[in-house]
Structure 1
Amino acid sequence: MQTPEETPRMGRPRTPRLSRKTIGREALAMFEQEATLSMPRLAERLGVRQSSFYKHVTGRDDIIELARGSLADRVQVPASATGNLDELIRQIFEALRSAYSLAPALLPLLLTQPVSHPDALSLYNKFAGALTHAGVPEHLVIPTLETLDSAAIGASLDAMTMESAWNISEAQRTDFPHLSAAQQAVSTSQTDRFAFLADVLSAGLKAAITDNT
């Protein structure tokens, strides 16, 4: 007969089956692979009952924020702060755009709630520090981050849509001469629109800094 000390205990597992980080990672993977968030489907992907979520999260918005945190972990932070504002703006814009392009279905949901996940806040804190180091006045850091974030989200969504936003038939070209000429010009002189957008953002920020000093 086993003594009490020898009797195996059926205690709680040392590692919980679910965690907030695990839920966030799987939610992000679902947005990447299935372009949606379904609670029953997320539970199925995690191999748990849907009711198990609510021991770790408060609801759908909380899961979206956990997915944001997992996405923030995928953003490539600029390796060094050189102090060159043009380069930094391009790096931050491209880092955000590249990450956002992984899960475009998540992006409209991110716009409906403020950033609160610690990993996402840590990411933006690093960007804020780099911008301050590059000479951006503190009162312009948040507007800069908001503009870069919005531009990166827009660029990521734009890349998933049609090649051209204007559909002008041959018969209509005389009705819209300026737009038609511009459309033909861009087809013969290709421009990296993402690099162009980053340059415009950088130029605008430098002008704003000059006006505010």
Structure 2
Amino acid sequence: MQTSEQTSRMGRPKTPRLSRKAIGREALALFEEEKGLSIPRLAERLGVRQSSFYKHVTGRQEIIELARGSLVDRVRVPGPGTNEAGPDDLDTAIRRIFESLRKAYAQVPALLPELLTQPVSHPAALALYDRFAAIFLNAGVPEQLVLPTLETLDSAAIGASLDAITMESAWSINEEDRPSYPNLSAAQTAAATSQVDRFAFLADVLSAGLRAAINGGT
């Protein structure tokens, strides 16, 4: 005859049906595939009741942060420089980190506005930015400029990712109206005939700005 303890053990699944990691992974997939987060839909995809979530999370904000943690798994962390001179120089570090963030963010644009409304608190995300901070310190960024650098790069990467999927051109000028905006029209024509990699250009601008701040003793 089985004891109640044995029956309890037999009826218990070998692995938890729901976990914080599973919630974050499925929330990220929901943003990627369905362009938003619906708690009822998330519960449906995970095969649980909505009430089950609150054994693991406090609410929507924490689910967003768990999705951020899952997104971090897709960020390719740039390693140190491989040349004999040692770590990457500042310009290379800026470009590598900006591009790694931009490529990850571009996969889930629907999540990005949500990320902008709350601070970074997921341990995996904090660990990622800590590694970025180490790269910048090794590249010669003063300690007081590390956080402003990370925040600027992060915002720029999010903006670039959103811009890439929202429109082909940010400027719309009717042909008959061009004489009214001669400088802007000329710049638009020049940009069309001489293509510039906007993302590389943005990374260069960020790098030049940071270098000016360092040299200026900010």
The two structures share one fold, judged by TM-score above 0.5: yes
Out of 181, 184, 204, the position equivalent to 2:189 is 184
Distance 1:147 1:47 in 2: 39
Q: CA deviation at 1:4?
A: 5.1
Distance 2:179 2:2 in 1: 96
Question: What secondary structure does 2:195 align onto?
Answer: coil
Distance 1:18 1:10 in 2: 19
**1:3-22 correspondence runs (5 A):** 9-11=7-9, 12-22=12-22
User: What is the identity percentage for the equivalent residue pairs of Structure 1 and Structure 2?
Assistant: 70
Aligned position for 1:154? 159
Q: TM-score scaled to structure 2, two decimals? A: 0.93
Of 191-200 and 77-86, more deviation after overlay is shown by 77-86
Question: Does the 8 Å contact 1:83/1:135 carry over to 2?
Answer: no
Of 9-18 and 183-192, more deviation after overlay is shown by 9-18
Aligned length: 211
In structure 1, what residue type is equivalent to 2:23? I
Q: TM-score scaled to structure 1, two decimals? A: 0.95
* Cα deviation 1:12-56 (Å, max 9, x = unaligned): 323210000000000000000001000000001111111111110
Unaligned 5+ residue runs, structure 1? none
Aligned position for 1:195? 200
Out of 87, 90, 94, the position equivalent to 1:85 is 90
C-alpha distance 197-8 of structure 1, shift in aligned 2 (>3 A): same
Question: What secondary structure does 1:174 align onto?
Answer: helix
Out of 78, 93, 100, the position equivalent to 2:105 is 100
Distance 2:126 2:8 in 1: 40
Q: CA deviation at 1:162?
A: 1.2
Q: CA RMSD in A?
A: 1.5
Aligned position for 1:68? 68
Question: Does the 8 Å contact 1:66/1:117 carry over to 2?
Answer: yes
